[in-house]
Amino acid sequence: MLRTALIPVLTYLLAAPACANETLVESEQATFRVETLVEALDQPWSLAFLPDGRMLITERSGGLRVVENGRLLPAPVKGIPEVAVKGQGGLLEVAVHPEFESNGWIYLTYSAQGRGGMGTELARGRLVESNRLESVEVLYRAEPKSGGGRHFGSRLAFAPDGTLFMSLGERGDKDRAQDLSDPAGSIIRLRDDGGVPPDNPFVGQAGARPEIFSYGNRNPQGLAVHPSTGELWAHEHGPRGGDEVNIIRAGANYGWPVITHGVAYSGFKIGEGTHKAGMEQPVHFWDPSIAPSGMAFYTGDAFPEWQGDLLVGALKFQLLVRLELEDGAVVHEERLLEQDVGRIRDVRQGPDGNIYLLAGEGGGVLVRLSPSD
């Protein structure tokens, strides 16, 4: 990977601040600019685009921020639900309803305090004048709540049929992921109002939670719908090794903690091995772990060579992974931006076809990748 010296940037499509910088990166298939658009974010976690060009950014410390005309508005949005900030918990995902222009709904996931400890919750509200949420309602509470500050999952993805997928971590208690009476360690499927679709795979099954779509998931922090097949893809953190990319199918068991391609942080074996009948194998896995977070299929015209590729952010090694796919299989991996922008937490394709990243912790940044031509 070759780089030029830093070059001052004078203008942006989104009128980015004049202090931003540009770096040129030469990858296997494209040379692209890396531009810092926004700085000084506090633990940025998720990014979403509004139809009018504004961007929404969550800060895990509890702030929902608005980027308007390329600049971060000074005050966080008011009216968000009460958030419990502890460990990996806080204000997490933000998503925009596919019919936002007619209904105005913004969706948030976050960790919340309740009986027994903390858990992931889902709420929605309507953004008014860039500075407050109104008509806020909690749509889903993952229960039972539990102690500790790990593994909240929290990614969202709207399916082509209008239903909403949400990932839930197993809260650091691995056996919960195999318990169908407990939503922890699963990917759930809801209507956009929080109700349960009647065709969910465990509806009517005694002892099973009807919202569960898949289970045996450890801590999924990437969800994306395949642009051609409509299938849900997810990635999840493994233990020490064994980060996985999976195609999520109704009722499927993804094995955690019975099977895994990783080991415990102590180095000891977990479960029964890497394979077991009735449990799914990943499409791809990483060993050693890259700590994946954020994921998007690329469909834009800015990088025609990357159309159909899967882009995955990584916290460990601070890199962006590009996966080339053929018939649902990964055939090539390229690693980009290693340690260039910080721990990459979210990856999104913008409406302009460029790629946007959230990276870093305190002093986090919003970064744009755009073609050099």
Contacts of residue 57, defined as CB under 8 A and 6 or more positions apart, other chains included, come to 38, 41, 44, 46, 47, 64, 65, 66, 67, 72, 94, 358, 366
274: left (phi over 0), alpha (psi -120 to 50) or beta: alpha
Q: How far, in Å, CA of 100 to CA of 96, rounded? A: 6
Q: Please say if 275 is a catalytic residue.
A: no
Which residue in the list 151, 235, 261, 284 is annotated as catalytic?
151
Is residue 290 within 8 A of residue 337, CB to CB? The reply is: no
Residue 236 has, within 13 A of its CA and on its CB side, a CA count of 37
Q: How far, in Å, CA of 199 to CA of 70, rounded? A: 42
Is residue 328 within 8 A of residue 277, CB to CB? The reply is: no
- Coil, strand or helix at 174: helix
Which residues are identified as catalytic? Answer: 151
